[in-house]
């Protein structure tokens, strides 16, 4: 199955609300990993971090598509700056998580595990904000009828 989203008439890949909702639900796993990483064995922690990196790459791909679409739709300057900052920060944090995963794989578990947990919480918060913003955009101007199926991202657990 291809993860490639359909392209619009301009050739830009579009993301669907369904894809968005699926990723938004998966992002909750970042918090779960952050909550349990301190009690995990180094190998289990490495597996969890590697899984988080795979998820974050999918989120980054989704965000890049959205970024390209928003720029083509000529959003106001202050909105573009906020979007760019979030994307750049998420990319930076994801690269740091990748470096910590490599440290964990080399056996430097204690130091890596101390940094991974807060990093996962930061990534979780950034991705939740990203998806919440997309839901607001879709609800206030999106053309999809799938908006009603979206999870309540801002509800506390």
Instruction: Give the start-to-end residue ranges of the domains of the chain.
Output: 17-133
44: closest CA among 96, 119, 118, 109?
Answer: 109
The number of residues in the chain equals: 157
Q: What is the mean pLDDT of residues 134-152?
A: 47
Fold of 17-133: 1.20.120
Mean pLDDT score of the chain, rounded to an integer?
Answer: 75
Q: What is the mean pLDDT of residues 83-110?
A: 88
Q: What is the pTM of this model?
A: 0.51
- For the ranges 82-91, 103-112, 146-155, which has the lowest average pLDDT? 146-155
- For the ranges 8-22, 46-60, 140-154, which has the lowest average pLDDT? 140-154
Reported as a pLDDT band with limits 50, 70 and 90, residue 144 is very low
pLDDT at 21: 85
- For the ranges 2-6, 15-19, 69-73, 138-142, which has the lowest average pLDDT? 2-6
Segment of 42-56, 106-120, 132-146 carrying the highest mean pLDDT: 42-56
* Cα–Cα distance measured from residue 67 to residue 120, given in angstroms and rounded to the nearest whole number: 22
* Cα–Cα distance measured from residue 38 to residue 135, given in angstroms and rounded to the nearest whole number: 32
Reported as a pLDDT band with limits 50, 70 and 90, residue 62 is confident
58: closest CA among 112, 116, 4, 125?
Answer: 4
Reported as a pLDDT band with limits 50, 70 and 90, residue 119 is very high
pLDDT at 3: 37
Q: What is the mean pLDDT of residues 88-101?
A: 92
* Whether residue 82 has pLDDT greater than 70: no
């Amino acid at each position: 199955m291809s993860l490639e989203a359909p392209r619009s008439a301009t050739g830009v890949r579009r993301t669907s609300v369904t894809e968005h909702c699926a990723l938004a639900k998966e992002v909750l796993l970042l918090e779960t990993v952050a909550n349990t990483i301190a009690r995990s064995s180094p190998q289990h922690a490495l597996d969890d971090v590697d899984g988080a990196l795979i998820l974050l790459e999918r989120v980054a791909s989704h965000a890049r598509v959205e970024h390209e679409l928003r720029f083509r739709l000529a959003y106001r300057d202050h909105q573009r700056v906020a979007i760019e900052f979030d994307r750049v920060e998420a990319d930076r944090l994801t690269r740091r998580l990748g470096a910590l995963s490599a440290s964990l794989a080399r056996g430097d578990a204690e130091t890596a595990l101390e940094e991974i947990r807060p990093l996962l919480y930061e990534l979780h918060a950034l991705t939740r904000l990203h998806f919440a913003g997309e839901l607001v955009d879709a609800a206030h101007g999106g053309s999809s009828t799938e908006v009603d199926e979206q999870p309540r991202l801002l509800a506390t657990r």
